Amino acid sequence: MGLLSTGALVSGCNGSQSALNPYGAPAIHLENLIIGIVALSAMIWLLVMVMLVLALRRGRGAETEGRTSEGRLTMTVSAAVAVTVAIIAGMTIASFFTTRSIGVPQSAAVTITVRAQQWWWQVIYAGSDGTPTFQTANEIHIPVGQDIRLQLESADVVHSFWVPSLAGKQDLVPGRSNDLLLRAEKPGIYRGQCAEFCGLQHSHMAVMVVAEAPSDYARWITSQRADAMMPADPDAASGQAAFLAKPCAACHTVRGTQATGTTGPDLTHIGSRQTIAAGLLETTRGSLAAWIADPQTLKPGNNMPMVPLTSIELQNISAYMESLK
């Protein structure tokens, strides 16, 4: 049921993950190019098919008719080749100009570092002029109408960052750093997914790009910079105690507590994110509990172990996680 409501939520944004639903300048350029080339190609295909059918029909009954001379055939074939060359040249030029329009500009409003790991996205917002950096996971917030430069790195194997509604994809290669221009023209939540095979859970490595008005974005930045809230609710408070006492804290960071693990995603504001486990489930107390109780059934092979917990501990930790807005 959680899954279904996630569906409603995720597709409640401007159409999900599709190259044909562009909401960013690069993706719009790309869609124009795609539609243009596909339409032209469809016409070429139809033309070839017409020729094929005519050739087949002509030959069938035409024992007595005069056959076309070799010379005329040569002319026709040469003309067809010349047309092919012209079309190919046209497509190459169109492709070249589109490439220029989606290039990463030197001066971007915001630079965000995305480090892909098996099988989640670590997102690092650099602090400019002395403000502290902070991390989040599987969710990137960007202001609408501005050029965003993503700096793409990988912590382990090759991944590929792809949010089709905003831009084409770009690989994250270990030992290298790639750039990608991201720009959203309209507020919304845009889903993306790892596009380069990266192992067991390649299928469940989604990322949400949340585009919002600059004022909302600034508010979000401020709230993310803050340390985690101390739980007010007694359930959540005992959840925090359990979280710190159990193996959870060895891998996850919750800023403002003793939990400083760096292996897993930073959980300081997990309650404010749209989804958990790289787009697997909507963030609710129930889905958090399901995930913590048995991560290997929901996402087999991922690096989060199944930590033995009592049902009370499970409830409390889920409550704590949910409270980390």
Q: Enumerate residues 258-297 that contact another protein by CB under 8 A.
A: 263, 279-280, 294, 296-297
What one-letter code names the amino acid at 276? Answer: I
Q: Judged by CB under 8 A, does residue 249 bind another protein? A: yes
The CA distance from 205 to 208, in Å, is 10
- In the complex, minimum distance from the CB of residue 198 to another protein, in angstroms, rounded to a whole number: 6
The CA distance from 36 to 217, in Å, is 35
Of residues 209-228, those binding another protein (CB under 8 A) = none
Q: Which one, 181 or 220, has the nearer CB to another protein?
A: 181
The CA distance from 182 to 167, in Å, is 6
- In the complex, minimum distance from the CB of residue 8 to another protein, in angstroms, rounded to a whole number: 8
Q: Judged by CB under 8 A, does residue 196 bind another protein? A: yes
Q: Which one, 174 or 286, has the nearer CB to another protein?
A: 174
The CA distance from 269 to 207, in Å, is 16
Q: Judged by CB under 8 A, does residue 130 bind another protein? A: no
Q: Name the residue among 194, 203, 138, 119 with its Cα closest to residue 162.
A: 194
What one-letter code names the amino acid at 194? Answer: C
Q: Judged by CB under 8 A, does residue 105 bind another protein? A: no
- In the complex, minimum distance from the CB of residue 23 to another protein, in angstroms, rounded to a whole number: 13
Q: Which one, 122 or 217, has the nearer CB to another protein?
A: 122
Query: Given its phi and psi angles, is residue 256 left (phi above 0), alpha (psi -120 to 50 degrees) or beta?
Result: left
Q: Name the residue among 108, 143, 111, 145 with its Cα closest to residue 25.
A: 145
- In the complex, minimum distance from the CB of residue 120 to another protein, in angstroms, rounded to a whole number: 14
Q: Judged by CB under 8 A, does residue 109 bind another protein? A: no
Q: Judged by CB under 8 A, does residue 1 bind another protein? A: no
Binding-site member from 25, 184, 189, 194 for another protein (CB under 8 A): 194
Contact window for another protein (CB under 8 A) among 4-12, 105-113, 126-134, 219-227: 4-12
Q: Judged by CB under 8 A, does residue 111 bind another protein? A: no
In 29-169, beta strands by DSSP E: 110-117, 120-125, 134-137, 139-143, 148-154, 159-161
Contact window for another protein (CB under 8 A) among 107-115, 135-143, 160-168, 230-238: 160-168
Contact window for another protein (CB under 8 A) among 54-62, 128-136, 227-235, 266-274: 54-62
DSSP class per residue in 144-166: TTS-EEEEEEESSS-EEE--TTT
Binding-site member from 28, 173, 221, 237 for another protein (CB under 8 A): 173
- In the complex, minimum distance from the CB of residue 154 to another protein, in angstroms, rounded to a whole number: 9
Binding-site member from 122, 136, 138, 160 for another protein (CB under 8 A): 160
Of residues 60-89, those binding another protein (CB under 8 A) = 60, 62-63, 67-68, 70, 73-74, 76-77, 80-81, 84-85, 88
DSSP class per residue in 166-220: T---EEE-TT--EEEEE--SS-EEEEEE--S--STTGGG-EEEEEEE-HHHHHHH
CB 176 within 8 A of CB 202: no
Q: Alpha carbon of 116 to those of 4, 120, 160, 267: distances in Å?
A: 27, 6, 8, 16
Q: Judged by CB under 8 A, does residue 131 bind another protein? A: no
Q: Hey, CA dihedral for 178, 275, 133, 305, is it positive or negative?
A: negative
The CA distance from 204 to 304, in Å, is 14
Q: Judged by CB under 8 A, does residue 303 bind another protein? A: yes
Q: Which one, 139 or 220, has the nearer CB to another protein?
A: 139
Q: Which one, 18 or 111, has the nearer CB to another protein?
A: 18
Q: Judged by CB under 8 A, does residue 162 bind another protein? A: yes
In 22-157, beta strands by DSSP E: 110-117, 120-125, 134-137, 139-143, 148-154
